[in-house]
């Protein structure tokens, strides 16, 4: 990947965040995704790891190609010799001379099963790196969606607390007026004031939740978050996921899961590592071509020059390495068994997650509809309680309880909607169907 291509996500992120800052617009899910792609550090690390893994392939191929080397040496020699001369008198000689040698060697592997196994292992490791990168992209979609929805949920809770506070303030005002007019009791005033005091504490907690949720989202997108596009309830589809059968979603997840592809690639790499280790028992055969030139290469032929060319084959047969080869084989077999077990565990875990998210979607629809009815019923209860209180059949406490119950129902409904959307996004992501197009569809459920 070129430097220009690596800078594209960062440029896109800067453009999105600059546009939001200039227009004071609410950040939607698709804009958050574009920013998160450039900012998320886990995804950045996965990209770098995938790039590093891709370099294994040219390195493995290079081992099967001709290896060309050249060597040059120049030496200054000092020779002292002594030999018997005339009448046995020792004669000493002291000589200085320069020697040189040059060689050009070409070696081509002909039979090296270890190198071919390493090439297949490199292909598997490259596939594993690409699958891990896709897994991190999938996880980023889930983390971003969860952080976005949690921020929306915190804002919705803060809004509901404020709405409830207005209702309690109105009831406190009514209680005080009734007590002053002699038609109410001090208990009604104290009960209304107690609800407001509790609401104040809840408002502080809700504000802290909003700040924390926005901070968590800002860590993903790489910039402070001021305003979010909320879910438009009228646009949110409450439909059973298609296909409607869990078995089909499980099949789709197994076919598309990058986690399973990564596990399968790791298992293949481990099996090739076994073949690499077993190749330590096999002989190797290389073709060799060499051209060499030497000058004064031995003290008996000082000032002599030689040029030699050779072509041949070299056979190397391993005999004994102290048991190291057998140890490496056992180690590789254990790693292959571990990789196979990890793959099976990943497959089981994937099935469990798909099952959980599928039920989260299907049961979430029923829960949302039930809570929508509960909200309508509690709204009616509040109205009835107010009319009954005016008629003298109910007290301020009954109205406060009804308001409290309505606030709880509204909170549970908002949580159920967010949980439904999150389960649907996770289900699609696990089935490999959560690309930018699907994310744009979910983004269409937000209010502008």
Question: What is the per-residue pLDDT across 350-373, written as a single tens digit (0 to 9) for each?
Answer: 999 999 999 999 999 999 999 999
Calculate mean pLDDT across residues 73-88: 81
What's the pLDDT score for residue 304? 84
Positive or negative, the CA dihedral 359, 361, 366, 368 is positive
Confidence bin at 23 (pLDDT 50/70/90): very low
Calculate mean pLDDT across residues 3-23: 46
Q: 25-50 as b/e, with b when 16 or more CB fall inside 10 Å?
A: ebbbbbbbbbbbbbbbeebeebbeeb
Considering the chain, what is the average pLDDT of its residues? 88
Q: Percent of the chain at pLDDT above 70?
A: 93
Query: Is it the case that residue 51 has pLDDT exceeding 70?
Result: yes
**Tens digit of each residue's pLDDT (9 = 90 or more) over 413-422:** 999 999 999 9
Calculate mean pLDDT across residues 134-159: 92
Poorest-pLDDT segment among 85-89, 170-174, 210-214 = 85-89
Q: Where are the domains of the chain?
A: 3-39+115-263+348-443
**Tens digit of each residue's pLDDT (9 = 90 or more) over 165-194:** 998 898 888 888 888 887 778 888 898 899
**Tens digit of each residue's pLDDT (9 = 90 or more) over 232-268:** 999 998 988 888 899 999 999 999 999 999 999 999 9
What's the pLDDT score for residue 384? 92
Determine the CATH number of domain 3-39+115-263+348-443: 1.20.1600.10
Calculate mean pLDDT across residues 297-303: 72
Most confident region among 30-39, 334-343, 396-405 by mean pLDDT: 334-343
What's the pLDDT score for residue 192? 87
**Tens digit of each residue's pLDDT (9 = 90 or more) over 371-415:** 999 999 999 999 998 888 777 777 888 888 888 899 999 999 999
Calculate mean pLDDT across residues 314-332: 94
pTM: 0.80
Confidence bin at 4 (pLDDT 50/70/90): very low
Give dist(CA 136, CA 218) in Å, integer.
18
Give dist(CA 118, CA 53) in Å, integer.
13
Query: Is it the case that residue 272 has pLDDT exceeding 70?
Result: yes
Tell me phi and psi for residue 139, to 5 degrees. -65, -35
Q: Is 217 exposed, middle or buried (0-12, 13-18, 19+ CB in 10 A)?
A: buried
What's the pLDDT score for residue 25? 66
What's the pLDDT score for residue 301? 72
Calculate mean pLDDT across residues 269-284: 95
Confidence bin at 12 (pLDDT 50/70/90): very low
């Amino acid at each position: 990947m070129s430097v220009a291509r690596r800078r594209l996500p960062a440029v896109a992120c800067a453009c999105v965040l600059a546009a939001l800052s200039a227009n004071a617009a609410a950040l939607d899910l698709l804009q958050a995704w574009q920013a998160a792609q450039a900012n998320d550090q886990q995804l950045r690390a996965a990209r770098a790891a995938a790039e590093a893994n891709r370099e294994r392939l040219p390195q493995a191929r290079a081992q099967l190609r001709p290896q060309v080397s050249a060597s040059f040496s120049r030496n200054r020699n000092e020779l002292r010799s002594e030999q018997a001369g005339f009448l046995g008198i020792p004669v000493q000689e002291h000589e200085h001379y320069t020697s040189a040698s040059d060689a050009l060697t070409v070696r081509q592997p002909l039979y090296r099963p270890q190198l071919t196994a390493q090439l297949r292992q490199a292909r598997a490791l490259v596939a594993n790196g690409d699958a891990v990168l896709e897994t991190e992209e999938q996880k980023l979609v889930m983390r971003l969606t969860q952080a976005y929805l949690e921020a929306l949920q915190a804002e919705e809770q803060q809004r509901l607390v404020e709405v409830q506070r207005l209702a309690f303030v109105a009831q406190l005002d009514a209680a005080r007026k009734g007590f002053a007019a002699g038609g109410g009791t001090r208990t009604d005033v104290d009960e209304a004031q107690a609800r407001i005091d509790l609401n104040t504490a809840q408002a502080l907690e809700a504000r802290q939740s909003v700040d924390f949720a926005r901070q968590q989202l800002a860590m993903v997108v790489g910039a402070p978050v001021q305003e979010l596009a909320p879910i438009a309830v009228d646009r949110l589809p409450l439909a059973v996921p298609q296909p409607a059968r869990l078995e089909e979603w499980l099949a789709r997840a197994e076919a598309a899961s990058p986690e399973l592809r990564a596990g399968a690639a790791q298992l293949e790499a481990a099996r090739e590592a076994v073949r690499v280790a077993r190749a330590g028992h096999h002989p190797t055969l290389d073709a060799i071509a060499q051209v060499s030139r030497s000058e004064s290469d031995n003290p008996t032929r000082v000032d002599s020059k030689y040029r030699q060319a050779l072509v041949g084959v070299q056979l190397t047969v391993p005999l004994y390495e102290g048991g190291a080869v057998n140890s490496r084989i056992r180690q590789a077999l254990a790693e292959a068994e571990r990789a196979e077990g990890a793959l099976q565990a990943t497959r089981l875990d994937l099935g469990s997650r798909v099952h959980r998210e599928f039920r989260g979607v299907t049961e979430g629809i029923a829960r949302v509809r039930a809570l929508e009815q509960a909200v309508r019923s509690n709204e009616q209860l509040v109205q009835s309680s107010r009319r009954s209180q005016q008629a003298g059949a109910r007290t301020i406490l009954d109205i406060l309880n009804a308001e409290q119950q309505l606030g709880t129902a509204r909170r549970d409904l908002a949580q159920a909607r967010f949980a439904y959307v999150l389960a649907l996004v996770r289900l699609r992501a696990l089935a490999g169907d959560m690309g930018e197009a699907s994310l744009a569809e979910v983004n269409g459920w937000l209010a502008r």
